[in-house]
Amino acid sequence: MKTLEQELEIALRAEAPRPTVEFAEALDRKVERGFQRPSGQPRFKWTQNFPFAPVIGGIAALAVVIVLISTAGGGSGTGGSSSSGSTAASPATEQASPKAASGAQVAPNAPVARPRRVERSAALTLGAPSSKLEDVANQVIAVTDRHHGFVLHSTVTSGGSSTGGSFELRVPSGELQSTLSDLSALADVRSRTQATSDITAPYNAVQNQLGEARALRHSLLARLAGATTDTEAQALRTRIHEATAQIRALSSQFARLQTRARLATIDVTLVREKARHDSGAGGVGGAFHDGLHSLAVSFGIALRVLGVVLPLALVAGLGWLGAAVFKRRRREAALF
């Protein structure tokens, strides 16, 4: 049975054109003469049709040479100065090219610079009257949402001596300053602190360890695929389980470091603030309120004093008046 390739070969041979008898005879005669050219026949037929072709070709070649010479002269400028400039430039080029070549070889081997990883945190204490603590707490949450953050923990207590609240916020590191500005505008700022910590070293160390652990597991899996004995396969499976557990622990640690570098922590504390009007906090208005308060206190003290002294003075006056009347009547009785 013939294959498909054999059938195609037979079909192509059947469709191939066959030379005529005259062409075959002429080809045989050329083979017998060794394909020699008849005497008197030019090498190229186009010279026979165009007798001036050699002259035209020579003129064209001469024109090309003239153009090349003029181009070289115009690009070099004036004589000796151009030659000296080109000569002086060549060593510089030769010196620069090895440096470029060496730089091209060294560049791939240079270590890739990794960005710095910085953890940012802040603490803010806000004071507000008891009647406004809940409003301020709601505004703290609104500000956090507006800056694409979230509230990790929150506690708000109203009523009693422990009135106040606390919040643990997470916002993107780039939004830390703007978030603090908006939070500071909600109430009276009692204290404000900021801190930064460089975690680049542990970040890169855990990242490298994680990459090595993954490469080890990949290698162990490849070796397990080619294991030939059960003992070897079991040992490789044990090492793969250990590498997998290490990868999970390193992945969890690396995720925490990524969160610390990406998100800033803000601790907000709300405290109850009593209404006060002191000159230091209110300027001229505070001094005015202080004066009114002192006047009211003095007036109250005066009323209390009058409440005690006035009855005593009235009793003393009545006694003095009675004594005076009694003495006057005794004198009048003695005269008569």
Instruction: Kindly state the average pLDDT of the residues 213-233.
Output: 90
Alpha-carbon span 280 to 257, nearest angstrom: 45
- Domain coverage including residue 54: 20-73
178 and 48 within one domain: no
Q: Is 292 or 286 the better-scoring residue by pLDDT?
A: 292
**Does 100 map to a domain?**
no
Q: Is residue 8 part of a domain?
A: no
Q: Does 221 lie in the same domain as 137? A: yes
Q: Are residues 131 and 216 in the same domain?
A: yes
Is 80 a member of any domain?
Answer: no
Considering only 21-25, 37-41, 82-86, 305-309, which range has the smallest mean pLDDT? 82-86
Same domain? 205 vs 263? yes
**Residue in the structure block whose two tokens are 């394909």:** 35
Same domain, 134 and 218: yes
Give domain status of residue 255, yes or no.
yes
Q: Which residues contact 116 (CB under 8 A, 6 or more apart)?
A: 198, 200
250, 273, 296: which is the final residue of a domain?
Answer: 273
Mean pLDDT on 252-262: 93
Question: Model confidence at 98, in pLDDT bands (50, 70, 90)?
Answer: very low
Give a yes or no: residue 325 inside a domain.
no
242: pLDDT confidence band, cut at 50, 70 and 90?
Answer: very high
Note whether residue 187 is domain-resident: yes
- Of 198 and 87, more confident: 198
* Domain shared by 41 and 184, yes or no: no
The number of folded domains in the chain is 2
Do 42 and 187 share a domain, yes or no? no
Please tell me the predicted confidence (pLDDT) of residue 52. Answer: 58
Higher pLDDT, 4 or 92: 4
Do 260 and 168 fall within a single domain? Answer: yes
Residue 211: half-sphere exposure toward Cβ, Cα within 13 Å: 6
Q: Which of 273, 304, 325 is the last residue of a domain?
A: 273
Boundary (domain end) residue, out of 222, 242, 273: 273
111 or 192, higher pLDDT: 192
Residue 135 shares a structural domain with residue 27? no
Q: Do residue 206 and residue 262 come from a single domain?
A: yes
Q: Are residues 209 and 68 part of one domain?
A: no
67 domain residue, yes or no: yes
Domain presence at residue 148: yes
Q: Do residue 53 and residue 124 come from a single domain?
A: no
